[in-house]
Structure 1
Amino acid sequence: MHLVESMAFAGQKPWHGLGSQLAPNQPLEVWAKQAGMDWQIEEAEVRFIAGTGGLGSIHPFPEQKVLYRSDSKTPLSVVSSRYQVVQPREILEFYRDLTEVGGFELETAGVLKEGKKLWALARTGRSVSLRGRDEVNGYLLLATACDGTLATTAQFTSVRVVCNNTLAIALGDATGAIKVPHRSQFDADAVKRQLGIAVSSWDAFIVRMKALSERKVKPETADAYFRRVLTYPTSIASDGSTAATNERAIKGVHELFAGRGKGADLASASGTAWGLVNAVTEYVDHERRARSEDHRRDGAWFGPGATLKQKAWDEAVWLVA
């Protein structure tokens, strides 16, 4: 079963082979229709029946409300009455000035989990070529959810062309995302102002990528790196240890690093710290166990996979500090 309810894309076919393909530079109105985002999130008061057998009296519960789709009436979630809704159209409208005058280009947009999660991804026009013609492009991801799983999140992301690996770009010393919780009104202009400061973070990201691509690592360094990244804290085990190592994952990333990974033989990645990072990101994005390809991508963008990739980046940067 696919998590993807509907989506549209321009350029290469996405990870799951689904969606409506669009020619480049389509208006947002076309994107909304083809991505299945041309509906509203409606809300209604929660009510309950007091009594047995469904014959009791109906009472309101004003502290909470039901969110549902305007087109299909599909229920999406039950939330606090203070919850601030972000509409599907707002996700796309965020990119209007960026695409019309800012040089950005939408590449994918769509709906996950029947409408509970919404996203759009645009190429920023920023890119770099590392040694061996290893191309990395900059993107801006905007996503939200109405089921309690995600604040409205704006995230600069890099995509390595040769293998489609994704990696969050940290904004200064902070994490790589600007998050607006649903208890607050989503202010697109305020988020863009914060992102404006972060555009320079792409330049800092390039400097670090190049440093990683020039840092050769010994086999023992690689093994120690993978074990730091792929060791998870656990409750105290019978032998007194408090961490568990994912040996299957370590074997997999070692193989990717040693040459099985896409682009692992490029000069930028072969035997380098940049190769270490990409072994982990390829494992998370394309090979990690998941219920489906959609669940894997969802986790790689927003969940445990994103956290693991950030850890891989931080540990690699420490190697060249």
Structure 2
Amino acid sequence: MAHNLNYNTAKQKHSFFSVKEKVWHNLGTVIENYPTSAEALLYAGLDYTVEKRPLFTLGNHSDSILNNPDYHGSIENVNAQILVPDYYSTLRTDTKEVLGVVGKDYHVVQNIEAFSFFDSIVGSGDGIRYETAGALGKGEKIFITAKLPDYIRVGRDDLLEQYIFLTTSHDGFGSITASFTPVRIVCQNTLNAALRNCTNTVKIRHTVNANERLKQAHQLMGLSNLFAKEIGEIFNHWAKVRITDAEIKRLVQVAMAPSKEILQNLQDRKEDELSTHYKNIVDGVLEYSAASPTQKEVTTLNTLFGTYNAVTGYFQNVRNFKNDERKFKSIMYGAGMQRMQSAFNLCDAFARKGNIVLN
């Protein structure tokens, strides 16, 4: 199951929804209108609760029963005898599946509480739009994508929609994480740019204070307004910075370099020693930069902003991925994100210093 979406056997459907477009292997529920948080919870199959229960192991007597070839019962019919101190299991109450093993300080944050995070940011009914949500594995991991009501405008015609992506788990691995991400409307490029002086991510540990911190998260996510203001100023400045074809190629070469060895070859001007695979990737970005209709429609061709969009657009619209999940992982926190971050840093340095800095 490469997609790893949870399949609810009782409801006979995958725990995922999206608005208007089929994504993620064309699975899940597609709806036409943006749902409320309560509706999104149901459409995504996240309307279940998780309990933290004491963890037991089997004693010697139980082991002897299970090892008896004449015993044909299940492990559930054998009484556990030994309590495991300071450890608990997290149990999905509707399917009775164990999702993980956690410590005594772990606090379950229910799925409905994760949605309340979004409602608290702008107020229920004030314009937040739930785009996607779903559960992975047995339901131990969930994710939600919501669109904020405001836009970032670059120049006259280029609009960046503002999204918040939240993920959390019930298996003891990972924090509750919410990230602010602007997405360019015209070509749907994910822009995971981390700014010089602020972060676009909030992380909350699964402790007894987690619910209280979720209630206060809208204050922490005030950074999204700061991020939007700063990113808008940066991108509008980049849209006015002209860059030559040779400089574009150099910036793309450095941004897409996967290793220090390739960076060294670039620094030494030994392009004949670069791999064909790497050269093809660079050519793909450059072709998108020069030929993509969106570059011309929003008049970003041969600008610093257009160069940055060429890198992000390559991963969203050109690069072939094995499946949607691989694409999502690459863009959000994998190699794609790293290359886009590198492009952002290079563009930032170019705007301030006027040259390409090998990083």
TM-score tier after normalising by the smaller chain length: 0.7 to 0.9
Q: What is residue 250 of structure 1 aligned with on the other side? A: 282
Task: Rate the CA distance shift 1:219–1:268 in 2: closer, same or farther, 3 A.
Answer: same
Q: Once the 2 structures are TM-superposed, how far is the Cα of residue 134 of structure 1 from its aligned partner?
A: 2.7
Residues 100/53 of structure 1: CA separation in 2 closer, same or farther (3 Å cut): closer
Could you tell me the TM-score, scaled by structure 1's length? 0.83
How far has the Cα of 1:251 moved from its partner? 3.2
When residues 76 and 298 of structure 1 are mapped into structure 2, their CA distance, relative to the original with a 3 A threshold, is farther
Partner residue, 2:239: 213
Q: Which amino acid aligns with 2:27?
A: L
In the TM superposition, what is the alpha-carbon distance from 1:89 to its structure 2 partner? 1.1
- State how many pairs are aligned: 315
Q: Which residue of 2 aligns with 1:115?
A: 139
Please identify the structure whose Cα radius of gyration is greater: 2
Between the aligned partners of 1:295 and 1:148, the Cα distance in structure 2 is 23
Residue 308 of structure 1 deviates from its aligned partner by: 3.3
What letter is aligned with 2:209?
Q
Render the CA deviation track for 1:94-133: whole Å, top value 9, x for unaligned.
2224252543222222223332321222221211443573
Which of 170, 185, 205 lines up with 1:181 in the alignment?
Answer: 205
Aligned pairs for 1:116-131 within 5 A? 116-131=140-155
- Equivalent in the alignment of 1:134: 158
Whole-angstrom distance in 2 between the partners of 1:256 and 1:147: 41
**Match of residue 159, structure 1, among 173, 183, 193:** 183
Equivalent pair of 1:9/1:108 in contact (CA under 8 Å): yes
Letter in 1 for 2:236: K
**Residue type of the partner of 1:120?**
I
Q: Runs of 5+ in structure 2 lacking a partner?
A: 7-14, 66-79, 268-273, 353-359
Q: Distance in 2 between matches of 1:218 and 1:184?
A: 55
More helix by share: 2
For 1:124 and 1:316, how far apart are their aligned partners in 2? 26
Higher strand share: 1
Structure 1, unmatched stretches of 5+, are: none
Q: 1:10 aligns with which of 5, 16, 19?
A: 19
Q: Distance in 2 between matches of 1:251 and 1:147?
A: 42
Q: Deviations over 1:172-209 (max 9, x none)?
A: 71332111133573211222111124313212211111
Aligned-pair Cα RMSD in Å? 3.3
1:263 to 290, 294, 298: 294
**CA offset at residue 75 of structure 1?**
3.0
CA distance in 1, matches of 2:184, 2:305: 11
Q: Secondary structure at the match of 2:239?
A: helix
Identity of aligned residues (%): 23
* C-alpha distance in structure 2 between counterparts of 1:52 and 1:233, whole Å: 57
Q: How far apart, in 2, do the equivalents of 1:229 and 1:211 lie?
A: 20
Q: 1:36: Cα distance to partner?
A: 0.8
Q: Give the letter for the 1:253 counterpart.
A: V
Does the 8 A contact of 2:119 with 2:128 survive in 1?
Answer: no
Query: Does the C-alpha gap of structure 1 residues 284 and 43 become closer, same or farther in structure 2, counting only changes over 3 Å?
Result: farther
> In 1, distance between residues paired with 2:251 and 2:208?
40
Q: If the length of structure 2 is used for normalisation, what is the TM-score?
A: 0.75
CA–CA separation in structure 1 for the residues paired with 2:19 and 2:300: 28
Q: Distance in 2 between matches of 1:320 and 1:255?
A: 23
> Is 2:256 aligned against 1:225?
no
SS of match in other structure, 1:37:
coil
Structure 1's 85 and 315: CA in aligned 2 closer, same or farther, altered over 3 A? Answer: farther
